[in-house]
Each structure stands twice: as C-alpha cells, then as structure tokens.
C-alpha cells in the first residue's frame, strides 16, 4: 500500500501531523508493506527567495490578526508539538520561500533520503535558531546531515530549474485531488485524510484502506506457459 503525503516545511501542522501519522504507522501490523512518499505543496507559492520576515509579521499580514493573537497561536502550536515529543520555538522564528527545499526533497528522494531530509528541515525550521531561509549553506548542511553529498546538493540549489518541474507537478496533482491545505494524506489513491488528525484517525484510515484493497482479477487463468519456484513449464511435443 502507498501513502502519499502533501506537505510544506513552513507548515507547523505538517510537522505535527507527520509525527502523529508515524505513531499510527509504527503500530500498524502491515507497516513493512506500506510505502510512504512525500510530495510538494507550497503554502506561499511564488514568494521571492529573498522575501524573509518574522513569522508573527507574516501571520498578522496574511490573516489580519493582531500580534497577540498570532503569538497565542504559536504558543498553542508549541503545546501541540510538545505533546508529540517535538521541539518547537514559539519565539523568533522566520518565514520565507520553501521552493528550494522542495527541490532538494525531490533530489533526496532519488537517493533514498527523502524522509531523513524532511525531518532535518522540519527540525531546523521549527526547533533551531539558525534560519533555513537566509542562505543556501544552511540547506547544504542539512542535506549532508540527512546523508546526501554536499557538492551535489549545492549544485541542485545553484540550478533554479533542477527538480522545479517535479515540484510543480506535485502541486498540480494536489489541486486535482482537491487538496486545499496541508498536510494532506492519500492512501492508495482511494482515501484522503486532511489535516493533522489524531493518531487514532490515521490508524483507522490505514486499517480501512488495507482492508478495502481490491484483489487481483486474472483476465486469463490458463493456456500460457509460466515460470515458478519449481521451474518453468515446458511445452510437450504433440
């Protein structure tokens, strides 16, 4: 079974939702038969790379809330994160474009390190002091920490077209599937779960999706020769 997760590194509920989903997945009896693929979704598409501002400033401008309301929201998110065992800085974080991070995640996927890089990006953005938006050197450091080659990661960041089409393709697909926000979980292209749901909801979704998988229907049950564990069928001379 395949689970696809659309998310953004700047999305705090994606950070929390990933932890909740993984808690459910760890206890799922068929864990080893579930493939998890992370897909790109930008909360702020088209944002210039050098357009970086404090999170509270972004929240007050984007949602028309007061700074006190924005800070209260951050405090609430910090508590939600802590409940999942995650660190979360409720003061002093910044916000910017995540497009290059998504390009790096597609590069990491090719090398089997996508989940490791995503975890490193989340932790850096939500729990650590050094900004992930201010310079490419920070992203290269995180790529190396995730097990990727520094020069290769640096080359991806230096080429604005590298993996850009893959990011845009993920975002178009999200729109086609009806995703209006993230995190957005799609199980075997049959079930969708929106938001950072409790682990129990993910457990239910995994169980239902697993149980409802369609059995394989054979269109031709005989006649053609096959090979199996005991060898290959040898046509008999007439």
Q: Say what the pTM is.
A: 0.89
Q: Is the pLDDT of residue 124 over 70?
A: yes
* Cα–Cα separations (whole angstroms), residue 90 to 61, 84, 138: 18, 16, 21
Radius of gyration of the chain (CA): 22
Question: In angstroms, rounded to a whole number, what is the distance separating the alpha carbons of residues 184 and 195?
Answer: 6
Residue from 128, 120, 59 nearest 87 by CA: 128
* 185-218 burial: b if 16+ Cβ within 10 Å, else e: bbbeeeeebbebbebebbbebbeebbeeeeeeee
Q: Is the pLDDT of residue 228 over 60?
A: no
Q: Is the pLDDT of residue 95 over 90?
A: yes
Query: So what's the pLDDT on residue 180?
Result: 87
Q: Is the pLDDT of residue 235 over 80?
A: no
Show the tokens assigned to 103: 């390009």
Confidence of residue 213 (pLDDT cuts 50, 70, 90): confident
Query: So what's the pLDDT on residue 214?
Result: 66
Q: Is the pLDDT of residue 233 over 60?
A: no
Tens digits of residue pLDDT in 11-63 = 999 999 999 999 999 999 999 999 999 999 999 999 999 999 999 999 999 99
Region 112-116: mean pLDDT is 97
């Amino acid at each position: 079974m395949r689970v696809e997760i659309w998310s953004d590194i700047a999305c705090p509920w994606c950070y929390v939702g990933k932890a909740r989903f993984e808690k459910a997945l760890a206890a799922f009896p068929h864990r080893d038969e579930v493939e998890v693929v992370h897909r790109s979704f930008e909360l702020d598409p088209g944002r210039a790379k050098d357009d970086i501002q404090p999170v509270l400033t972004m929240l007050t401008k984007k949602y028309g809330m007061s700074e006190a309301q924005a800070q209260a929201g951050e405090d609430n998110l910090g508590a939600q994160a802590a409940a999942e065992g995650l660190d979360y800085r409720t003061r002093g974080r910044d916000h910017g474009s995540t497009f290059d991070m998504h390009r790096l995640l597609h590069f990491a996927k090719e090398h089997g390190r996508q989940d490791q890089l995503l975890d490193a990006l989340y932790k850096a953005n939500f729990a650590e002091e050094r900004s992930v938006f201010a310079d490419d050197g920070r992203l290269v450091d995180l790529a190396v920490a995730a097990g990727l080659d520094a020069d290769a990661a640096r080359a991806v960041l230096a080429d604005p077209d590298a993996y850009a089409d893959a990011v845009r393709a993920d975002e178009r697909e999200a729109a086609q599937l009806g995703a209006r926000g993230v995190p957005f979980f799609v199980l075997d292209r049959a079930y969708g779960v929106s938001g950072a749901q409790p682990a129990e909801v993910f457990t239910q979704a995994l169980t239902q999706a697993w149980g409802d998988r369609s059995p394989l229907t054979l269109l031709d049950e005989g006649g053609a020769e096959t090979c199996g564990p005991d060898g290959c069928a040898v046509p008999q001379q007439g």
